[in-house]
Amino acid sequence: MRLHWAIAILIISLLCVGLLMGYLPNGGSLKSAVYNWHKTLGLLVLVLSLFRLYWRLTHKLPAQVGGVKAWEEKLAGAVHWFFYGFMIVMPFVGWGISSTSRYPSRLFNAIPLPRLPILSSVENRKEVHHFFEETHEILAYIAIALIVLHVVAAIKHQLGGKAVLARMIPAMKKDDS
Ligand code: HEM
Ligand code: HEM
């Protein structure tokens, strides 16, 4: 649960900052600081998500909430697995953008971020850079759509009397029981 909320807050912030940071004025230290922090927190998502995936695969799930339709459960399962994939692939794609950029990247706005070894001497740097940029953007829009669906579904079920949201927010559980 803690990992779910920490990662969710980080991802929602990164999506907002990512979509806005391109509009910051060029050349200033603010823009490079925001980009560097975007990269740092994006890589933190990667580390937390690898741990979360390990946790998910090595622990038993709590029993399903009753009364949820079979197709809703299937769709929720598919969206959840997309999220697990996204939480790991998205940071690597971002790292791919940085690894093929002319600009240096700094973790915590201080420590040089190494390039991904597989991309350190890529021939057609510009094309590969563009490919990663496009993929990062498309994945972001797909994720935004699915996060909206995920949140609407959680609220809808909660309001419909199925304690789905309360499973993720222990404080709500007390009220329910
Ligand atoms: C889950 C983690 C991440 C999320 C949700 C995320 C989200 C975003 C979004 C929404 C954009 C704007 C896309 C656009 O409009 O073109 C963006 C841009 C960018 N991201 Fe990320 N990002 C993540 C991780 C990373 C990581 C780990 C790095 C690098 C190490 C990174 C590097 C970049 C760069 C360099 C840009 C600017 C691309 C451009 O100028 O077109 N991102 N990110
Ligand atoms: C970027 C944002 C988010 C991501 C990536 C995300 C990801 C996930 C994933 C992967 C699961 C499945 C856990 C599992 O069964 O393995 C899950 C469950 C859940 N999420 Fe999110 N989530 C996000 C945001 C939110 C938000 C904002 C809410 C609040 C409405 C929420 C509510 C829930 C609930 C209630 C469940 C439990 C469903 C159940 O018990 O089967 N999530 N989330």
Q: For the segment 18-31, what is each residue's pLDDT rounded down to a tens digit?
A: 999 999 999 889 99
The confidence score (pLDDT) of residue 25 equals 95
Specify which residues 112 forms β-bridges with.
Answer: 106
Q: Is the pLDDT of residue 32 over 90?
A: yes
Centre of ligand 1 to C-alpha 172, Å, is 34
Q: What is the mean pLDDT of residues 29-44?
A: 97
The confidence score (pLDDT) of residue 175 equals 52
Q: For the segment 65-113, what is each residue's pLDDT rounded down to a tens digit?
A: 888 899 999 999 999 999 999 999 999 999 999 999 998 999 999 999 9
Whose CA is closest to atom 42 on ligand 1?
94
- The fold adopted by the segment(s) 2-176 is Fumarate Reductase Cytochrome B subunit (1.20.950)
The confidence score (pLDDT) of residue 174 equals 55
Q: For the segment 119-163, what is each residue's pLDDT rounded down to a tens digit?
A: 988 999 999 999 999 999 999 999 999 999 999 999 999 999 888
How far is C-alpha 127 from the chain's CA centre? Answer: 25
> In terms of C-beta density within 10 A (0-12 exposed, 13-18 middle, 19 or more buried), how is residue 42 classed?
buried
Q: Which two tokens stand for residue 159?
A: 């309001």
Q: Can you give the residue ranges of every domain in the chain?
A: 2-176
- CB 80 less than 6 A from any atom of ligand 2: yes
Q: Which two tokens stand for residue 83?
A: 């999220």
Counting ligands in written order, which one lies closest to the CA of residue 76? 2
